[in-house]
Amino acid sequence: MRPVSGEGEAFVERIENLGEGLILLDATMFELSVGEVEKVLEVCKGVKILSVSVGLVNGWGEVLNVVGKEGKGAAVEQLEIVGVPGEELVERLKGSGELVVEKGELDALGVRCKGLKTLKVSILRTRMEFWYKVGEEWVKKT
């Protein structure tokens, strides 16, 4: 899967006009920037199930840190992030082969999004990591 790039801004503009009442949003068709994800979260205050494709420069933290920031996306219960790696990240992945979610990122996300139950991350829907919450602990599904 390769999301459509260069159309994220137009998509976000449409969502700004229509997104206030959305509960579920699958925006994996378009590659969004981290800033565009933040705009979507600002508009879609009540979204509970969110799937986005986002351009990554360094790793998952850059997008995870905007979810729930200042209450934007705090209602999210199920989150899927399809990472679209930039050239630099692709080279790093060739070396290590992995891009993992750090425990500190998960814990901070759980504090900001109290109702978050699952987090699924993947690089272009390959190399998937799936996390779910049991009580107060995050468990990685293997």
Q: How far apart are CA 92 and CA 115, in angstroms?
A: 33
Is the CATH number 1.10.1740 carried by domain 8-141? no
Burial of 49 (0-12, 13-18, 19+ CB in 10 A): middle
Position 97 scores a pLDDT of 66
Model's pTM, two decimal places? Answer: 0.89
Rounded CA gap, 55 and 85, in Å? Answer: 6
pLDDT for the residue 1: 56
- Whether pLDDT at 3 is above 70: no
pLDDT digits (tens, 9 = 90+) for 10-64: 888 888 878 788 999 999 999 999 999 999 999 998 999 999 999 999 889 999 9
Cα–Cα nearest to 69, from 38, 27, 34? 38
pLDDT at position 16 is: 85
Q: For the chain, what is the mean pLDDT?
A: 90
pLDDT at 8: 79
Strand blocks (E) in 39-98: 49-56, 78-85
Residue 6 has pLDDT above 80, yes or no: no
Token pair 């999210």 is at which residue? 76
Q: Which residues contact 77 (CB under 8 A, 6 or more apart)?
A: 48, 49, 115, 116, 117, 118
Residue 2 banded pLDDT, cuts 50, 70, 90: low
Rounded Cα distance between 37 and 32, Å, is: 6
* Boundaries of every domain in the chain: 8-141
Question: 120 is written with which tokens?
Answer: 């699924």
Q: What's the pLDDT at 69?
A: 94
**Cα four-point dihedral sign 118, 11, 122, 62:** negative
